[in-house]
Amino acid sequence: MAASSSDPALVLLALLPVAYHTIVRRRRMEPPSTCNFLPFYLPPTRQSIRQGCLHITPSDRGFAGQRHEIVGFPRYQRQLIDWLDLNVRHPVYLLFEADVTTARHDIRAYRADMAAPLSLTAFITGCFARAIDEHKLLHAYRKGRGSLALFDDVDIAMPIERDLESQKVPVPCIIRAANRKSLPEIEREIRTAKTGENPQSGAMKWLPIWLMLPGFLRRFILRRLLANPVRRKAITGTAMVSAAGMFGIGPAWGISPPSYSVSLLVGALRKEQVKDGFDQGRESICLTVCVDHDVVDGAVAARFAQRFKELIESGSGLPTDEATGSQSRDVKTADRLASSPVRDYPA
């Protein structure tokens, strides 16, 4: 018996080529092909375009004649995609500001008196490591389903842009035991990672061979390799600091994908002029702390962020006043508060 024209199975079978054509065309952003010799509604191919069989409808004329260039996808970006696929977490973001007026004054005094470099990034990284040292749960790694691995040393991973194969490539730099190092030592390691020999950059030469493996196989190997918390700490560190947001002036916070139990994204520097007859102003840094809610509770993360802010605003870890020969920090802070108008600032 012949099937009726209203048979749902036949209708569905007839609509499948149209659905396939619509999905593929939207994904490729190409107009439909109306070549007579092509069955159903197949998407246009390079051969059909060369043969002049491509019909451009009025709605698709905006894509015709536009100049464009097709370039190769950076292979280093494929490694980043693998890394992001492995880190599926439930993040909590804390966005706040910290007053760095006194800290920047002390940093400038240290540069002038000691003739040695010291950056705001190194100072914030040191405060971040010391705050984690006081709240060790923040950089814990899960071990199976019922255990957590807590570490004494805070290993800070920091992406540093370097020129590799005529491209700007973020190469990971890991500052081992940053909670036990002074700010000049942290600054020295950051500068070495930018210009000198970086141990992590040596593995980049094997990246082309590594990327020849299928994506699912690469992610499987990485997942098994990083399953051990101790091995993962040795390879990736326990926390991350990114200063990508400091390339600008004005209030700006960044939101980054979660890849560690705790990570910090340093935003832009905000300058607020105090109009009280003096040429003074407050300088605040925009900070974004991301924590893994699977490991850290929200209240613990809030206490950590408050302690982190206190360390920054008190100038924790900055060189001593005897070394710089500058005025005492407490006296400078009191003078600044006395000369500033009485007003409330947002936390």
Mark whether 24 and 95 lie in a shared domain: no
CATH code of 109's domain: 3.30.559.10
Rounded-to-integer distance, Cα 345 and Cα 213, Å? 54
CB-CB contact of 336 with 313 (8 Å): no
In the chain (347 residues long), the average pLDDT of successive 10-residue segments reads 55 60 51 40 44 46 63 76 80 92 91 88 95 93 88 92 71 90 92 72 71 86 89 92 70 82 90 61 89 90 94 86 45 42 33
Domain enclosing residue 57, as ranges = 8-63
DSSP 3-state of 127:
helix
Which tokens in the block code for residue 309? 């802010």
Mark whether 13 and 149 lie in a shared domain: no
Mark whether 168 and 253 lie in a shared domain: yes
DSSP 3-state of 251:
coil
Largest CA distance in the chain: 102
Q: For residue 87, which amino acid is it?
A: N
**pLDDT at 7 (0 to 100):** 64
- Give the C-alpha distances (Å, rounded to integers) separating 59 from 30, 128, 260: 11, 54, 46
Mark whether 58 and 94 lie in a shared domain: no
Mark whether 97 and 152 lie in a shared domain: yes
For residues 299, 300, 306, 308, the Cα torsion angle rounded to the nearest 10 degrees is -160
CB-CB contact of 336 with 101 (8 Å): yes
The position carrying tokens 């389903």 is 145
**pLDDT at 331 (0 to 100):** 41
Mark whether 128 and 242 lie in a shared domain: yes
- Residue 98 within a domain: yes
Mark whether 175 and 305 lie in a shared domain: yes
Rounded-to-integer distance, Cα 81 and Cα 28, Å? 21
**pLDDT at 251 (0 to 100):** 75
SS3 content of the chain, % helix, strand, coil (to 5): 45, 20, 35
**pLDDT at 6 (0 to 100):** 53
- Residue 334 within a domain: yes
Last residue of a domain, one of 21, 48, 63: 63
The position carrying tokens 């196989």 is 217
Last residue of a domain, one of 45, 63, 81: 63
The position carrying tokens 């950089």 is 139
**pLDDT at 55 (0 to 100):** 47
Residue 309: phi and psi, rounded to 5, are -65, -40
- The answer to whether the Cα torsion of 65, 27, 88, 72 is positive or negative is negative
Mark whether 171 and 242 lie in a shared domain: yes
CA 72 and chain centroid, separation:
23
| Number of domains forming the structure of the chain | 2
- Residue 333 within a domain: yes
**pLDDT at 193 (0 to 100):** 84
Q: Which residues make Cβ contacts (< 8 Å) with residue 290, sequence separation at least 6?
A: 91, 92, 93, 94, 255, 256, 258, 262, 263, 264, 265
**pLDDT at 146 (0 to 100):** 84
Mark whether 142 and 59 lie in a shared domain: no
Mark whether 170 and 121 lie in a shared domain: yes
**pLDDT at 51 (0 to 100):** 44
CB-CB contact of 293 with 90 (8 Å): yes
- Residue 263 within a domain: yes
- The answer to whether the Cα torsion of 172, 176, 177, 180 is positive or negative is negative
**pLDDT at 308 (0 to 100):** 96
- Residue 84 within a domain: no
- Residue 12 within a domain: yes
- Residue 158 within a domain: yes
Mark whether 247 and 293 lie in a shared domain: yes
Mark whether 24 and 114 lie in a shared domain: no
